[in-house]
Amino acid sequence: MDVSHIIDPLNDAQREAVTAQNDHLLVLAGAGSGKTRVLVHRMAWLMGVDRVPPTSILAVTFTNKAAKEMRYRVEQMMNIPTRGLWIGTFHGIAHRLLRAHWKDAGLPENFQVLDSDDQLRLIKRVMRENQIDESQWPPKQAQWFISAQKDEGLRADHIQENPGDHFTTTMLKIYRQYERLCQQGGLVDFGELLLRSHELWLHKPELLAHYQQRFQHILVDEFQDTNTIQYAWLQVLAGHRVPSTIVGDDDQSIYGWRGAKVENIQQYQRDFPNARLVRLEQNYRSTQTILKAANAVIANNQGRLGKELWTDGP
């Protein structure tokens, strides 16, 4: 097969990442270094050279826009329809799994996904029914608490109460009743999509084994923005059976406010100690003056794996 269209547009580091034969690959990609290009060309290499069926590749990113762009690029490069491919956001993939395995997940077939406004209305109902004063306990605060616990993989029953902690006691009272109403009504919020799909892996080993056989490679973009439950979901699925390509930047994270943990990059290296490390340091977006200033700033970041951004430009 002629692979020139896959590797010729790439620089040396990008080519190393795209063609790597390791089971697990960690790509440290600085801003403007072409990480989306590397992911798409990696997928093309897996399909064209390693003969991995397109439907056996799982590619996960963080926004619908990024997933749409990835689909478009794969379609253009490989000249294949992408409708049936497993390319999507963490929440989108989790939703797809729960729709396919609703019974195993303990859900009704027609379960409803709550958006943020729906979730807030349900929380307000719980507070009214439990006579909890909204002026003292803002509903949005309870919404944040519930979402934060789910991002950490915690249900209400997992959290220990401290009799002297009035805040946690109140929040858990709301969380428990909220969970009951969701279960009774077949309601699933965004955090529940991932939490329940993770529990699906844990409680249904035969289903997990099915997807570990089905997926021959997992790719994840913007890995520095994963939170606890997203990483746990991925780690269980990949296990020691499914090769993975992880692309992230340990010098940036934009979702810390919702539980993102840039240290998941270091955790990946601990969980997959044989993972190959490739650094994408050539920048195509900024001038050398800007990169020099940026390198000076990020050099102070704690726990970084280290990279030095540079450009061929002025």
| Fold type of domain 112-185 | Arc Repressor Mutant, subunit A (1.10.10)
List the domain boundaries for the chain. 4-100+194-298, 112-185
Q: What is the mean predicted confidence (pLDDT) over 226-242?
A: 94
Q: What is the mean predicted confidence (pLDDT) over 118-129?
A: 98
35 contacts 280 by C-beta, under 8 angstroms: yes
Domains 4-100+194-298 and 112-185 share a fold: no
Q: What is the DSSP letter of 226?
A: -
| Amino acid letter for position 44 | A
Say how far apart CA 1 and CA 21 lie, in whole Å. 17
pLDDT in tens, 22-73: 889 999 987 778 888 999 999 999 999 999 999 999 999 989 999 999 999 9
pLDDT in tens, 174-227: 999 999 999 999 999 999 999 999 999 999 999 999 999 999 999 999 898 899
181 contacts 118 by C-beta, under 8 angstroms: no
Confidence band of 297 (pLDDT split at 50, 70, 90): low
Q: What is the pTM of this model?
A: 0.88
Q: Coil, strand or helix: which one is 188?
A: strand
Distance from the Cα of residue 200 to its chain's centroid: 17
| Total residues belonging to the chain | 314
**Four-way CATH pick for 4-100+194-298: 1.10.274.10, 3.40.640.10, 2.60.40.420, 3.40.50.300:** 3.40.50.300
Q: Coil, strand or helix: which one is 229?
A: helix
Q: 217-220 and 244-248 as β-strands: parallel, antiparallel, unpaired? A: parallel
Q: What is the DSSP letter of 160?
A: P
